[in-house]
Structure 1
Amino acid sequence: MARSEEQAVDAGHPEYQYLNLMRRILDKGDERMDRTGVGTRSVFGELLRFDLSDGSMPILTTKRVYWKTSVREMLWFLTGRTNIRELLQNNVRIWTDWPLDRFRKATGEAVTQEDFEARILADEAFAEQWGNLGPVYGKQWRRWLDAEGREHDQIATLIDTLKTNPASRRMLFHAWNVGELGQMALPPCHMVYQFHVTSDGRLNCLIFQRSCDLFLGAPFNFTGGAALLHMLAQQAGLTPGELVWVGGDVHLYLNHVDQVREQMARTPRPFPRMRLARKPDSIDAYRIEDFVVEGYDPHPAIHGDVAV
């Protein structure tokens, strides 16, 4: 076994949960071809826990995570909108690959990502045609359409229940709308969020993720989920508790193995802390400037290509 695969063992820091999961996938994961054609090593059914009650934020330190990108994505989800133009206007490019792939296949045009994004930003009609991702996360969270044509705002219902019936076991929202999956650029991965309020007013969140790219995707999912927990706790007059992450098919892409080994060879540094600079009137009024992260001192970033 390579020395880099032996490094991720010490359980004293919560980030070792993540590093040891990567190690377990490399050691014992089932190697198989996936829909992207890249191939993965995969395990099934995993759980990680992060305590946010002391203000710590699970932004990984063994590689730099661009946490503002993750928070901006979460804020975009909460708007209920589904076009990448708004993301690009905020310098968030993590969703471009899917509409770009669709455009190239439909038109045969070998456009670069930079040129495609520039056209999305410059031409509203082009963005409307090619930048829409279909009824992905935000649409389902804020405008779930039932069989009778009525829209349901799952986030608003959740906040109301947190305030009025915090002992409820029905405080959740999800995005796996079977009738609309075929219209989505990518079916939801982090598909269910469930919430639990303790008797002393701490808000816990469990995220179930059916499919997880552990190297590229999970660091953003942890950060976005923790930011959401902070916002919901503030809106409901609660304090942040525990973020529990559950993964179904948890995998590493075969073209990321060298990067994963490099990351596992690094020693975690203390998690940063996060606080909200103000309390907006509603969940819809948060801005990136409201999130203050202090003490983030990560190792350098490690690049990996997205498998589309």
Structure 2
Amino acid sequence: MKTSRRELLHIALAAAAGSLPLISRAQAIETAKILSGFAAGGTLDTLARRVATQLNGSYAKATVVDTRTGAGGQIAISALKASAPDGATLLATPMSMLGIYPHTYKKLPYDPMLDLTPVSLGVVFDMGFAVGPQVPVSVKTVPEFLEWCKAHPSNANFGSPAPGSVPHFVGELIGRAGKVNMQHVGFRGSQPAILDLLGGQIAAVSAPVGEFLPHLSGGKVRLLATSGASRNKFVPGTSTLVEQGLKDLVFGEWFGFYLPGKASVDMVSRANAAIRTALANKEVVEGLAVMGLEVRSSSPAELAAMLKADTEKWGPIVKAIGFTAES
């Protein structure tokens, strides 16, 4: 896939921003907000709130999290697009909405390359696949779950944080690997999906590993596998999909921070420095680890390159699955 002139200009802008010194804070931002497109209490919300706390008094006099759920994260991104590029509005978003949605939607209300300016990577994480009370406790692995689905086709389903997201496609690929047609149920975030899992309304959920951690001790939610190349350090006792015989199913994702598309290089530099400082804070690192999130910041150029690589990676996968937003 060739890099377009527009992409080159965007990456060049990000690279320039990463090399500039932090500008004067004489013109202080009164109130900044971090837009989040998924429900409060989830991993994205946790990242946004941890960072917002650190930005208070440094990047802005006050920083708040503005949750805009709906349309699988698109509402929050559209809100960023409509915001003034003055640094007062940031976005925390999963990669899915920027790197996968262009392959699943015929038309998006935003252009990931033009309407958003990369600032910094935030965290990286693996996916987890878990079952709840609807599935017998004798089911301890993904292959066993797939066999149970074959025996109970009316209950062969799974939930995810959003249709067309990485967790959604991980679930779809798991079903295909076992030749099981699992019905997908999309939610407005992982926690609403897990609540239905706990209530027995759905059989399984595919979501970031950290989303399950608060629920594992009770035993009602049982994590069957993780999606990384090696065992996840937050749940080392859980084997990977590959270990369970599902070859080539190795996937992860990241959350990143963005400014509106027309943000100046000076503002990008300022936001990048502030967010990287926030992410380096020990309390932030430890607090996010509780949610299964590994902190990893970046330059704007590095984030732009990551998005480009993931956009190219997911194109063929989405095509093979045959999913569209209208399907």
Normalised TM-score (structure 1): 0.28
